Structure 1
Amino acid sequence: MIWLTWRQFRAQTLAAGGALALLALYLIHLGNQIDAFADTRVAGCAGEACRVALMELRRGYSDTVAVIGLALMAAPALIGIFWGAPLVARELEERTDRLVWNQSVTRTRWLVAKLTVIGLSSALVTGVFSLLLTWAVSRYDAAVGDRFAAMNFAARNIVPIGYGLFAFVLGTVAGMVARRTLPAMAVTLVAFTALQLLVPSVVRQHLMPPVTETIALDASVMNSGVGLGLQDDNTIHLHGYHVPGGWALQDASQVFKADGSPYTGDDARRCIAAADGVEATIACTVAQHLHFQHTYQPGNRYWAFQWIELSLYTALSLLLAAFGFAWLRRRV
């Protein structure tokens, strides 16, 4: 049965292999370009030269990295649409199931072989694509990237393996239920896209309990590119703060004085009126011993998040597969 599955699936396998080979050649070229730029302009830089080099690195490669990342995020959806959705739906649509599932091989064994061979191929395709991209842009990510950013997280390392496997199983089960290829493709695309939007915006940040710290508003914080904003209730909120390598879970944090009372616009205006220039204003603000609370996910949890999300998508794939077997035996 595995040999038969390979015979039926070899055209798609060879096409995917050829696309990966071409992609590998391009990503090797891109990775060498980024490495050369980082070695000559970024490594060992300091001060203004470093700032200019990072700006040029971002300007020169950000669009390319984003486009390839989007292609990787789209790959699982395409696998679910073109590999998963027609797998059973085409048999039902063309009535070939009456021949295929009345031979010596049972429908359960038929589905086991299909899900195993093609499912592993799906995971392999997205996994190899992800590892190639991760290697090619590693120096770019280290210099200007944010590993927890939604698109970066979904297009690096091991998580795309789970996306590819889940999308394929989702498409297969959608084909069983819909019994028509085109509706199954549409359902697969909508369901997978919805989940890819839901997980990073709602679920991912709760996979591990966040850390909340009370941080002093000192000179290092004030000079790190943050901003103080006046709210409608006359309180001051800090914007743009993040722990290096961490994932900030809030856009702004309310600022408090040393006694715990809110820092207000009136307090800030006294500093602005008394000080002469930006540096003096910062010094006046720091002298008030202000603090704020920051909620975030530490950077050292990155790989834990990768493994948890991979496990989550693998578990969803297994649950969908179990539902598919039950549906196949009772309804089809």
Structure 2
Amino acid sequence: MIWLSWRQFRWQALVAAVALVLVAAYALYLGSDVRDAFAAARSNCGTGTSCPQAMAELKAHYRETMLFLAAALGLALALLGTFWGAPLVARELEAGTHRLVWNQSVTRRRWLATKLLVTALTAMAVTGVASALLTWAARPVDEASANRFDTILFGSRNLAPVGYALFAVTLGTVIGLVVRRTLPAIGVTMAAFIAVQFLVPNLVRPHLMPPETATMAMSADAINRARNLGSITGGSVIGGVTLPDEPDAWISSTSPLLTADGRPLSSARFDACLNSPPRTGVRGTFGDTAVCLGKLDLHLRITYQPGTRYWAFQLLETGFYVLLSALLAAFALWRIRHRLT
């Protein structure tokens, strides 16, 4: 049965092997280029203020490339589910070829378990190698960015993509088993996988471990290090802050700018500093506005996950997808035995 499953799967495996060779070649090229650029940026760190600017330029230069590669890996995982998982059983049921096997000595559950095991293990192996190559190539940029918890980047590094690959194939197989038509199963699998990939980072990942809280004083220098001030809806909000003692922490939420007594800064005072601050000639991202706000003795309440929990989150999220896959596989084995004629 294993030999038959592998023989049916050999063309998909061949395509995956060719794609993996191309990925490896590009990753080696990109990794070498990134490391040369990182070494050049580090050479400026001995000149004082040039170091932060050089690192910022490095991150900006490769940011779009890293996001594109992460999105490409996410798309590849969705394709594994739609073109490896969904047709795995649906194609057999649609063509009626499953009856030939079921009339032999092979049981239904063994037939399904073997096909799913061969496909899922291959998908996990291919994804694991691709993820390792991408993680290696991007490591200098990831270290400079100190943003390993980024929603898109987190799912394209280290262990997490392996769990996604297992889930994608299992999900597609179960949908194909239920729908029993290849094309509808492909469409439903694609939509379902994308929905889960959107929901888990926003609804599940923040609650895998209880967050910590901190208070951060918002001096002019701290405000200048933020990425944005204000919002289209108004209000004294600030975004893209970094904890001084936890530069790689995952900040899940921040309060509005708070005054010394713990109350939100009024919109009138915030807008006054934002729109017409006293001229000081100070340079920086927000310049005079940062100086104006820095004189108001402001602070933030921040909810965050320490950077030291990164690997714990990788393991927990991978385990969550393995658990989902196990539940889906158990349902498939039950259904093929009791509900499918």
> Which residue pairs with 1:258 in the alignment?
260
Contact 1:239 / 1:253 at 8 angstroms: preserved in 2?
A: no
- The alignment yields a C-alpha RMSD, in angstroms, of 2.7
Partner of residue 83, structure 2: 82
* 1:170-223: CA deviation from partner (whole Å, max 9, x where unpaired): 111111111111111111101001111111222211221122212223354234
Q: Which residue of 2 aligns with 1:35?
A: 35
Partner of residue 156, structure 2 = 155
Q: Distance in 1 between matches of 2:117 and 2:231?
A: 57
Deviation for aligned residue 1:91? 1.1
**Secondary structure at 2:256 match in 1:** strand
Please say which of residues 94-103 and 290-299 is displaced more in the overlay: 290-299
TM-score, length basis structure 1: 0.89
Residue 291 of structure 1 deviates from its aligned partner by 2.4
Please tell me whether the aligned partners of residues 245 and 298 of structure 1 are also in contact (alpha carbons under 8 angstroms): yes
Instruction: Pick closer, same or farther for the CA change 1:96–1:283 going to 2, 3 Å.
Output: closer
Q: CA deviation at 1:149?
A: 1.2
Q: 1:324 to 1:273 in 2, by over 3 A?
A: closer
Query: What's 2:14 paired with?
Result: 14
Identity between Structure 1 and Structure 2 (%): 47
Cα 1:88/1:214, change in 2 over 3 Å: same
Structure 2 partner of 1:167: 168
Shift in alpha-carbon separation, 1:136–1:15, aligned structure 2, 3 A = same
Contact 1:230 1:265 in 2 (8 A): no
Change (3 A) 1:283 1:171: closer
Shift in Å, 1:169 = 0.6
**Partner Cα distance (2:180, 2:99) in 1:** 14
Identify unmatched segments of 5+ residues in structure 2.
283-287
Mapping 1:1-332, distance limit 5 Å = 1-45=1-45, 46-47=47-48, 49-144=50-145, 146-225=147-226, 229=230, 236-243=236-243, 244-250=247-253, 252-265=254-267, 277=280, 285-286=293-294, 288-332=296-340
SS in structure 2 of the partner of residue 249 of structure 1: strand
Moved more, 43-52 or 224-233: 224-233
**Equivalent position SS for 1:255:** coil
Query: Which shifted more, 155-164 or 215-224?
Result: 215-224
What displacement does 1:50 show?
A: 3.1
The whole-number CA distance in structure 1 between the counterparts of 2:67 and 2:232 is 34
Measured at CA, do residues 272 and 193 of structure 1 come closer, stay the same or move farther in structure 2, by a change above 3 Å?
Answer: closer
How far the C-alpha of 1:13 sits from its partner, in A, is 1.3
- The 1:178/1:272 distance shift into structure 2, 3 A limit, reads closer
Stretches of structure 1 that go unaligned for 5 or more consecutive residues are none
Question: How many residue pairs align between the two structures?
Answer: 330
Q: 1:232 offset after TM fit, Å?
A: 8.0
- Name the SS for the 1:254 alignment partner: coil
Distance 1:255 1:129 in 2: 42
SS for the counterpart of 2:216 is: strand
Name the aligned partner's letter for residue 119 of structure 1.
Answer: A
TM-score of the superposed pair, with normalisation by structure 2: 0.87
Moved more, 108-117 or 160-169: 108-117
